[in-house]
Structure 1
Amino acid sequence: MYNPMTPAPTPVSAWVRAARRLKADGDQHGLMLHIENPIGFVAGEDEIVCEVDAFLRDHDKCGVSTVANTIFPAALDRGDGIAALTERYMQVYERRMHRQGEWGRYFQRMVAWPKGSGKNAGTVNQLAENIASLRAMRSGEAKFFGNVTEIALFDPARDLRKKMNRQCLSFIELKPERNGNSWRLSMMAVYRNHYYVQRTLGNLIGLGRLLAFIANEAGFEVGSLTIQSTHACLDPDLQRGEVFELISACADPAAVTAMPDRNNVQHLASA
């Protein structure tokens, strides 16, 4: 169950390399990706995002940006903090998203985790609590701990009884690091299952954006992103030949292009 890929410089590069491995070797258990720059991209990678997005839309699947937004709703972020972002998101959620069933509700679980089963039990904003904790550590108001910052996505009360259409992202761990005056925040995410064409590229982009948001809110630099898929596969509900053609058409620009300086990083395209 330990099946690591060579570290990749960007989310798109990580996706291309892992998708090619699945194409060559079939389903993988314990597949681990490590991305050195979770919000970066090199020339040519935005074209890959657009190509995957067009393929998904042509097959009546959710596009890359839709999947990314289930993890971090970038279009709602105005740079005014987690409380304002949560308020805007929950307004949209109450109008539309609760009608879609459980899929697409990762961010809702992050900012409105139920405290209990009662109607008036209230909720916990996991992101706000973690950001406050990280800020306190960063400022010296609280003792530094590198192993206490986590976000739960799997809920036994909601998820154990379902065998189909369950959440795939189960858990996120945030890892703050300090080195003198340098403060860095990395992330590890665990998936119970990953459809690599329909979900994984959008997941990687969304996780990178989520990490960048939390780091910025807490006063940290963006660190690395690690993803473990306890099961990873090429989507069984898509034609295998068409999937193979898509993966073959997506070369890895990062294999021949130097990464941009982290201080001058560009953000991934949202197709």
Structure 2
Amino acid sequence: MYLPIEPQPTNAQAWLAAASAVQARGGDAHNVVIDITDPLAESNVDADIIREVDAFLHAHRRNSLSGVANTIFPQALYERHGAEALYVVYRDTVLPRMKQMTHDWGRYFDRLTAWKKVRGSKIEVINPLDDRIHPPRAAEIFCKGGILKPRFRRPLSARKRALFSSAMAEARRPS
């Protein structure tokens, strides 16, 4: 079974709707499914929701929402070091300290960015998130006049090349 939730405009409102629906079912639900119209938007209502939840978490000596979110993607680390150094700083500096403090086996971000691919006796670590966080690297790879897909080294079609070029131009535009 799953619990479908009506689509919500933002993350905070989606989480509130999902938590309310789960609570209405006695506090237990599996496979809660919800669509978020604009996951990057944050309204005044959202800021109020986040402040209220953070106050509750603080009162119960728990991490804030941004602290929890940083276990999924270390935004502050990304902003401080940029895409170039993000993985190295995380793997070599942050993760060892976290493991020392908590004595656990890692964080979600670590598991997201270090997949072990085993072929016989050869172990290759791949990072699928790198393609998403660092798309300019793909634009630098050329072969016989066509942009290549970094992982497969095949030229992109003219349509995909145009879409990619458009997306790269948009990403480079100052905010």
Residues 111 and 29 of structure 1, relative CA distance in 2, 3 Å threshold: closer
Q: What one-letter code is carried by the residue in structure 2 that aligns with 1:39?
A: L
Aligned partner of 1:33 in structure 2 is 34
Partners of 2:137 and 2:148 lie apart in 1 by: 9
Partners of 1:125 and 1:97 lie apart in 2 by: 20
Aligned partner of 2:147 in structure 1 is 141
Contact 2:5–2:21 (CA under 8 A) maintained in structure 1:
no
Give yes or no for the alignment of 1:107 onto 2:109.
yes
Q: When the two structures are superposed, what TM-score results if normalisation uses the length of structure 1?
A: 0.45
The Cα shift of 1:42 comes to 0.8
Q: What residue ranges of structure 2 are gaps of 5+ in the alignment?
A: 150-158
Residues 23 and 48 of structure 1, relative CA distance in 2, 3 Å threshold: same
Contact 1:83–1:128 (CA under 8 A) maintained in structure 2:
no
Structure whose residues are more often helix by fraction: 2
Give yes or no for the alignment of 1:18 onto 2:18.
yes
Deviations 1:177-228 (A, max 9, x none): x99x667xxxxxxxxxxxxxxxxxxxxxxxxxxxxxxxxxx74989xxxxxx
The aligned length equals 149
Partners of 1:182 and 1:47 lie apart in 2 by: 38
Q: When the two structures are superposed, what TM-score results if normalisation uses the length of structure 2?
A: 0.66
What secondary structure does 1:123 align onto? strand
Structure whose residues are more often strand by fraction: 1
The Cα shift of 1:48 comes to 1.4
Aligned partner of 1:269 in structure 2 is none
What secondary structure does 1:6 align onto? coil
Larger radius of gyration: 2
Partners of 2:80 and 2:38 lie apart in 1 by: 21
Residues 65 and 132 of structure 1, relative CA distance in 2, 3 Å threshold: closer
Deviations 1:139-198 (A, max 9, x none): 96347xxxxxxxxxxxxxxxxxxxxxxxxxxxxxxxxxx99x667xxxxxxxxxxxxxxx
Contact 2:83–2:134 (CA under 8 A) maintained in structure 1:
no
Q: What one-letter code is carried by the residue in structure 2 that aligns with 1:141?
A: I
Aligned partner of 2:64 in structure 1 is 63
Deviations 1:92-133 (A, max 9, x none): 112x11222036x111112223345xxx95632221245578
Q: What residue ranges of structure 1 are gaps of 5+ in the alignment?
A: 144-177, 184-217, 223-263, 265-271
The 5 A counterparts of 1:1-271 are: 1-26=1-26, 27-78=28-79, 81-90=82-91, 91-94=93-96, 96-99=97-100, 100=102, 101-102=104-105, 105-115=107-117, 121=123, 123-129=125-131, 136=138, 141-142=147-148, 219=168
RMSD after superposition: 3.6
What secondary structure does 1:35 align onto? coil
Aligned partner of 1:173 in structure 2 is none
Partners of 2:68 and 2:127 lie apart in 1 by: 21
Identity, in percent, stands at 39
